[in-house]
A and B are shown apart, each in its own frame.
Chain A
Amino acid sequence: MLPTIMNYIINPLALIIPILLAVALLTLLERKIIAYMQLRKGPNIVGPYGLLQPIADGLKLFVKEPILPSTSSQILFILSPMLALTLALTLWAPLPLPSPAADLNLNILFILALSSLTVYSLLGSGWASNSKYALIGALRAVAQTISYEVTLGLLLLCIIILSGGFNLETFNVTQENMWLILPSWPLAAMWYVSTLAETNRSPFDLTEGESELVSGFNVEYAGGPFALFFLAEYANILLMNTLSVILFLGSSNTLFSPELMTTNLMTKTALLSILFLWVRASYPRFRYDQLMHLTWKSFLPLTLAMVIWHLALPIALTGLPPQL
């Protein structure tokens, strides 16, 4: 009885609740860091150094009246934010930190498949809102997301061939000698930019570009449902960064102190997330056709060549990874 409760209830909660806490503090971190980069201080009134700001924001969002537009498709309108947050949280289950909450053998495949489902929440929210702005914003967001998913999948395939399997724990073994970013730094660079685009993050945040589309696909959302979209977006950012660290900047699991590996991993995740924020503070937004040009005409041909390269060279130089 106790193992069941532990495994099925407390373990997931022990992963989900710190993630939600981390997401809340990431919103504060973003505001503070962008502020300091703009030579001003971020929120520092609400608590010491503004630490209670996320709680205040959360309270505000859940106490505000949510709007169910009379002309919207109500069920889809309500289900889309729920789907977004569900997926953002579920994707954390198979990540080895160093031991995952749900140990799947085909970790990366699961993550890739589920992250493709977030497109549904974007599309559903845009279409169900029954507002022209929301629809256009949603279409653009979906087009952007699916375009970058192609390069994401092919890049993953390259490093999976180098590493030997779809299991993320083999990546820890692969990187025992050196980080995978060293042999495959072009892949790592393209992967990082693609994760920036996947999470609709600056400079690819066209769909939320306030000056253009007044908040895009979530224009009709207010209060609680908007909070869910917001949480989902930031949870996706943390997830993508954790995945980048596991894939490219891995740390090996020392048997007697797995906490050391977790600390190592999460420190690198925090640094990569700060880089996301740094990029947001530094670069102007991409124009939509520039965004599409980048993925279909710049990244994709290079990625296709990279797949052939990563397939040919290990075979030719007998450097194939061991088969598990």
Chain B
Amino acid sequence: MNLIIAFMLMTTLIPMALMLISFTLPMMTPDYEKLSPYECGFDPLGSARLPFSIRFFLLAILFLLFDLVIALLLPLPWSSQLPLANHTFFLASTILILLTLGLIYEWQQGGLEWAE
């Protein structure tokens, strides 16, 4: 078992211990009002499992694509040390230029508008 796993075990045990303390130490007197969802004092109007706005989905997809591009660019500190660094540079620039074209298209089509 290596060190980082041991560290994660310790950092998992401590919040677990804290949660245990917080659920056992206080005096629990649950009643109907306390356990109902909060809506500024009123009874909740309608279900809370709302359909959410499509902009958030679009944003998530955009983030996904950009993150994949970052993953593609991650070998750059090693690949820039190759004997023919031109190739690295041109390939990395191609990836980035394609990404930028995608961003320009998205921007121009209004996908980033009220991306809120």
Contact = CB atoms under 8 A, between A and B. Distances in A.
B43 interface: no
B80 A153 contact: no
Contacts of A54: none
A267 B32 CA distance: 50
Chain A facing B: main interface SS: helix
Contacts of A71: 36-37, 48
Contacts, number: 208
A292 B4 contact: no
A311 B22 contact: no
B23 A130 contact: no
A193 interface: no
B11 A12 contact: yes
B99 A227 contact: no
A102 interface: yes
Contact of B22 (A8, A149, A225): A225
A143 B107 contact: no
A157 B95 CA distance: 14
Interface stretch (A34-42, A44-52, A299-307): A299-307
Contact of B6 (A8, A63, A67, A70): A8
Interface residues of A, number: 83
B29 A65 contact: yes
A288 B74 CA distance: 30
A53 B4 CA distance: 33
A30 B77 CA distance: 39
Contact of B116 (A67, A132, A143): A143
Contacts of A85: 11, 14-15, 18
Interface of A: 7-9, 12-13, 16, 61-72, 78, 81-82, 85-86, 89-90, 93-94, 101-104, 109-110, 129-135, 139-140, 142-143, 146-147, 149-150, 153-154, 157, 160-161, 163-166, 214, 219-220, 223-225, 227-228, 288-289, 292-293, 296-297, 300-301, 304, 307-308, 311-312, 314-315, 320-321, 323
B3 A101 contact: yes
B12 A160 contact: no
A157 B37 CA distance: 43
Given A85-B15, A93-B8, 9 more contacts: A85-B11, A109-B74, A131-B38, A135-B52, A139-B56, A149-B67, A304-B103, A308-B93, A320-B81
A90 B22 contact: no
Interface of B: 1, 3-4, 6-8, 10-12, 14-16, 18-19, 21-23, 25-30, 34-40, 44, 48-50, 52-53, 56, 59-60, 62-63, 66-67, 70, 73-74, 76-78, 80-81, 85-86, 88-89, 92-93, 96, 99-100, 103, 107, 112, 114-116
Nearest to B37: A131
A189 B78 CA distance: 26
Of the listed residues A90, A219, A223, the one surrounded by the most CB atoms of chain B closer than 10 A to its CB is A90
A168 to B, nearest CB: 13
A82 B11 CA distance: 9
Nearest to B92: A311
A224 B112 CA distance: 38
